[in-house]
Amino acid sequence: MKLLPADAPWTHDDKSVVAIGVFDGVHRGHRQIIHRAVATAQHHGVPCVVVTFDPTPAEVLAPERAPRLLDSLEHRAELLGEIGVDEVRVVAFSHEASQEDAKDFVRRVLVESCRAGMIVVGEDFHFGKDRGGNVETLTTWGEEFEFETLALALLGDGERISSTRIRECVARGDVASATAMLGRPFGYFGVSVVHGDARGGAELGYPTANIDPSTRLIRPGLGIYAGSATLPDGQHYAAAISVGKRPQFYENGEVLIEAFLLDFSGNLYGKPIDLEFFEFLRPEMSFESVEELVEQMGRDVARTAEIFGTSGVPEA
């Protein structure tokens, strides 16, 4: 799978099937669109292309209200490639780009750069200046530019799925519901381990891998989670994950994401890991003593091991 600028030259002899959208999270509703585009492209023996946006229109046009994202562009592209997409073409969205007429965008990106023979979108997709492009206009312009338009609902088991709903679940700690809509666990992927305050191992007996995801990515609600960590060598470990301000030690600490990897020993600093969230265990809280905190951490770790063992994630 290739990750290219939207207007990169077309290097294939055939036309393509193009799916267009932000596709944040590549959730189960998105996957219906992508699977349909991939299947159609394979049936006709032509490339399947996804056109997406980075930064997203919301980040550019309303940064104060723009939601944090479920995935980085790189992980989004990786997920699309796993489904069978041949190229992911990225529109570098800007204020200038927002003023481009929808028809001009279709001509420049979808027709001239991607050679679209079919365009697959969500049924409520809008694009271009003043959101002037939609399924109806695409269908009309398809007659002029010689492409078909297919619009699909973003459904999963008959229920409408949206990135907004998934973000709301993640933000309140309901990662299990987020997983159901994503079709995979919510998490952070390829994020480097950074230094924390070194209290976990020395003082508490539970050394943690600390990560600092991009500020563009959403944070789960404060609390303790059961999950897993995948290391660069492909090994999987159960992980008890804390998203919190460490009220036992700080009155108003910064939010940290820390993961204790069960049955792991070694140095992870500077290494990229994948951290997935399976289940919310409990809210963040302070205890009467550090000893009580450590006892609770032991219970959290034991529960994490149970959940990991029934999650379908390969044991290390």
DSSP 261-285: ETT--S--BT-EEEEEEEEEEE---
Residue in 78, 87, 123, 258 annotated catalytic: 258
Tell which residue, 78, 100, 286, has the closest CA to residue 190. Answer: 78
Cα 147 to Cα 14, 54, 64, 201, distances in angstroms: 13, 25, 37, 60
Strands of 148-152's sheet in order across: 2-5, 87-91, 48-53, 16-20, 116-122, 148-152
CA 71 from chain center: how many Å? Answer: 2
CA angle, corner 272, sides to 266 and 276, nearest 5?
A: 95
Per the annotation, the verdict on 258 as an active-site residue is yes
Nearest-angstrom CA–CA distance, 264 and 283: 25
Q: Give the catalytic positions in this structure.
A: 258
